[in-house]
Amino acid sequence: MRRAVTREAATNTTLALLLLAAPLAASAMGEPFYVTLATRIAVLALAAVGLNIALGLGGLVSFGHAAFFGLGGYAAGILATHAFNAEPLFLGIAGTTSMPAIWLVAMVVCGLVALPIGAVSLRTSGVYFIMITLAFAQMIYYFAISWPAYGGEDGLSIYLRNSFPWVNTAAPLPFFLVCYGLLLLGLLVFRALRDSRFGAALQAARQNEVRLAAVGIAPFDIRLTAFVISAMMTGVAGALFADLNHFVSPSMLSWHMSGELIVLIILGGKGRLFGPVAGAMLYVLLEHVLGGITERWQFFLGLILLGVVLFARGGLIGLVAGRQSHG
Amino acid sequence: MAETVLEIRDLRKSFGALKATDGVSLDLVRGEIHALIGPNGAGKSTLIHQIAGSLTPDSGTIRFLGRDVAGLDMAARARLGLARSFQTSSLAREFSALRNVMLAVQARQGSSLRFLRPVMQDASLTEPAMAMLARVGLAERAHVPAAELSHGECRQLEIAIALALGPRAFLLDEPMAGMGPEGSRRLTAFLDALRQEAPILLVEHDMDAVFALADRISVLVYGRVIATGKVDEIRNDPEVRRAYLGESA
C-alpha cells in the first residue's frame, strides 16, 4: 500500500515539474505559443480540479459546470469592461482590473448561484442529476446569449489583460506563472478536502449513502457543500480563461464546455489529485498535435476516451500509479 | 418497571394491498435483548426500516427516548442514538475497515464540515476506531478495504461501526446471517454482554442464538405481532408453534 502512495506522489511531482519546465524552456527559446498552450492546460486543469471535488470525490456527475466556468469568465469580462469604460457597475460600485478582486467576485457569484442549483439538483441522483444540472447551465447560457448589455451572442472582449500585483500579466510567462500558482493552490485545497473529515464523509456518500446516513451524517448537506466549493474553484478558472483569451463568450457556458471538463477528469483519473492535470495535458496536446493534422481530431479523442473507459477506468493516473489507496 | 427506550404503537405500512406492518406495537426496555422472529416475508425488515427512518409508516407512532421520531430522517435518528446494522452488509467498500469505523467516530463527535485536518493523522478518530475494531476482533484487518473483507468480517465490521456510535439502542437486522457456527457462537457471546451498554432489538433467524440471548421474543406473522413473551412462553405458545416454529421446536 505504501508503495502505491509513493508512486502516485512521484507521478504527481513529475507532472507538476513538467508543466512548469515546458513553458520556461519554450520562453527561453522564444516560443511564446507554447507558453500559452501550457497556460491553457493549467487553467483547464484548475477548472477540472474544481469539478473533481464534486465528480471525483462526491460522485456527483455535474453536467453543468460550464455555468460556473462561464460565470467566472463573465465576472472578469464585465468587471474589466466597466473599469475600462470608467462606468460604475451598479449602485456606484466601480469595475476593477485587479485579478484577485475578480477572482473573489467570481467565487462569490459562483457560490451564490451554485447554492440554489445544488439545493434543487441534489434532490435527485443519477441521470436526473446530470440532466437537471445541464438544464440549469443551459438556462444561464441562453440568458447570456439574449442579454445584449454584455455582448450577447458575440461575447465580450477584454482589451487589456487584468492585472496582478507586481506581475506583468500581459507577457505570456508571468501570466502562466500566475495560473500555475493558482493551479497548485487548487490542488492543495483539493488534497486538504479529500483527507479531511468533510472529504471522508463526501467519499462515503459516493460509495454508500445509506451507510453515511446510518452513522448520522446527512448526505445532502455534505454534497451541497461540496457542490458549492466545486463551483467556486471552477469559477476562478473561468476568470483566468477569459483573461487568457482576452475574451469571454457564451460558448464558455455551453454544454460542450461541461462535457470537456468531464472528459478531462475521466481521461486523467476521476477522484485522483492530479487526474485533471494529466487529463488537461493529454487533451490540450491532442488538440494541438492532431488538430494540426486533421479537423476531425476529436474522433481520435473519442477513441482514446473509449479505450480509457473500457480498459483503464482509473485514467492515466490509474495506469501509471495504480489504484487509489484510502489508508 | 425498566425504562422504555423504544416504544412502537400501532404502526401500519402497506404496499398496495399487502399489509407489511399491520398494527405493530412493541417496546424495547433498558438492558434487554428483544428478539423479533417470524417467517420470511413477515415484515421484520420493513419494521426495522421504519424504526431506522428509511421507510415512512402510513400511521402509528415510534417514540425513541420519549421523543416522537416521525419527521426525523435516518441520519437524525442515528444522531439521537439509534444504531443499526444491515441485513446485507452496507459499508463504504473502498474505505478500509478502520476508515469505516472512523466515519462513525467522526459522526459521533459532531460536525463533519471540517476541512483541514487529515483524518488519518487525527488520533481522536483513529484510536477510538481501532479500539472498536479490537473489540470485535478485527484489529488485524484494520487497513484492509471493506470490499476485500470476508462475509463474516463484514458482519463484525457492521457491529464495530454500530458500537462506535455509542448508541442508546441497537437495531440489528440478522447479524448472524451467513456466519459459520463458530462465528455465530462468538457473536452470541458478544451480544450477550452488549445488552448492558444499550438494549438490542434483534431480528434473527438463528433460533439457537435467539433462545440463548433473548429476554423477550416477539413473533411477527403477516405484519402482525401474534405473541410477545419470555423465551419459554413463546416456545410453548400453541399459536406460535403452528404459525412458525413447526413441529420441531
pLDDT, greater one: B178 or A23: A23
Taking the Cβ of residue A4 and every Cβ of chain B, the question of whether any pair is shorter than 8 Å is answered with no
CA–CA dist B246, B39 (Å, integer): 11
CA–CA dist B67, A24 (Å, integer): 66
C-alpha cell at A215: 452513522
- What pLDDT score does A209 carry? 95
- What pLDDT score does A33 carry? 94
B78 vs A196: CB contact, 8 Å cut-off?
A: no
Q: Which residues of B touch A273 (CB under 8 A)?
A: none
Q: What is the pLDDT of residues A84-129, one digit of tens each?
A: 888 888 777 888 999 999 999 999 999 999 999 999 999 999 999 9
Taking the Cβ of residue B91 and every Cβ of chain A, the question of whether any pair is shorter than 8 Å is answered with yes
Taking the Cβ of residue B123 and every Cβ of chain A, the question of whether any pair is shorter than 8 Å is answered with no
Residue A299 sits at the vertex; the CA angle it makes with A298 and A300, to the nearest 5 degrees, is 90
- Nearest alpha-carbon partner for A113 in A235, A10, A286, A18: A235
**Mean pLDDT value across residues A306-324:** 88
- What pLDDT score does B63 carry? 96
Instruction: Report the Cα–Cα distance between both ends of chain A, in Å, rounded.
Output: 8
C-alpha cell at B57: 409508516
CA–CA dist A145, A254 (Å, integer): 10
Any idea of the CA torsion for B132, B133, B137, B142, to the nearest 10 degrees?
Answer: -170
Q: Which residues of B touch A271 (CB under 8 A)?
A: none
A12 pLDDT above the threshold of 70: yes
% of chain A with per-residue pLDDT over 90: 83
- What pLDDT score does A327 carry? 63
Pair A191, A275: CB distance under 8 Å: no
A208 vs B92: CB contact, 8 Å cut-off?
A: yes
Amino acid sitting at position A325: S
% of chain A with per-residue pLDDT over 70: 98
Helix (H, G, I), strand (E, B) or coil at B201: strand
CB pairs under 8 A between A and B: 117
A1 pLDDT above the threshold of 50: no
- What pLDDT score does A297 carry? 87
Could you tell me which residues come within 8 angstroms of residue A201 by beta carbon, excluding any fewer than 6 positions away?
Answer: A212, A217, A222, B103, B106, B112
- What pLDDT score does A120 carry? 97
Bridge partners (DSSP) listed for residue B219: B37, B227
Which alpha helices (DSSP H) does chain A contain, by range? 2-28, 32-52, 66-85, 99-121, 126-146, 172-195, 197-207, 209-214, 219-245, 255-268, 275-293, 297-311, 315-321
What residue spans define the domains of chain A? 2-321
DSSP strands (E only) in chain B: 4-15, 18-29, 33-37, 59-64, 67-68, 82-85, 169-173, 200-203, 216-221, 224-229
- What pLDDT score does A3 carry? 53
| Three-class SS of B73-102 | CHHHHHHHCEEEECCCCCCCCCCEHHHHHH
At A291, is the pLDDT very low, low, confident or very high (cuts 50, 70, 90)? confident
Helix (H, G, I), strand (E, B) or coil at B224: strand
Taking the Cβ of residue B147 and every Cβ of chain A, the question of whether any pair is shorter than 8 Å is answered with no
pLDDT, greater one: A155 or B178: A155
CA–CA dist B57, A118 (Å, integer): 29
Taking the Cβ of residue B148 and every Cβ of chain A, the question of whether any pair is shorter than 8 Å is answered with no
Taking the Cβ of residue A213 and every Cβ of chain B, the question of whether any pair is shorter than 8 Å is answered with yes
What residue spans define the domains of chain B? 1-81+168-249, 91-166
A2 pLDDT above the threshold of 80: no
- What pLDDT score does B246 carry? 59
- Listed as ranges, residues in chain B with pLDDT below 50 are 247-249
Q: What is the pLDDT of residues A233-290, one digit of tens each?
A: 999 999 999 999 999 999 999 999 999 999 999 999 999 999 999 999 999 999 999 8
Taking the Cβ of residue B54 and every Cβ of chain A, the question of whether any pair is shorter than 8 Å is answered with yes
B103 vs A217: CB contact, 8 Å cut-off?
A: yes
Phi-psi region of B178 (alpha: psi -120 to 50; beta: other; left: phi over 0): left
Taking the Cβ of residue B93 and every Cβ of chain A, the question of whether any pair is shorter than 8 Å is answered with yes
Instruction: Report the Cα–Cα distance between both ends of chain B, in Å, rounded.
Output: 31
Taking the Cβ of residue B115 and every Cβ of chain A, the question of whether any pair is shorter than 8 Å is answered with yes
Among the partner-chain residues A197, A326, A327, the one whose CB lies closest to the CB of B112 is A197
CA–CA dist A53, A47 (Å, integer): 10
- What pLDDT score does B6 carry? 96
- What pLDDT score does B53 carry? 94
- For domain B1-81+168-249, is the CATH number 3.40.50.620? no
A327 vs B96: CB contact, 8 Å cut-off?
A: yes
B92 vs A204: CB contact, 8 Å cut-off?
A: yes
Pair B28, B22: CB distance under 8 Å: no
Q: Which residues of B touch A213 (CB under 8 A)?
A: 54, 73-75, 78
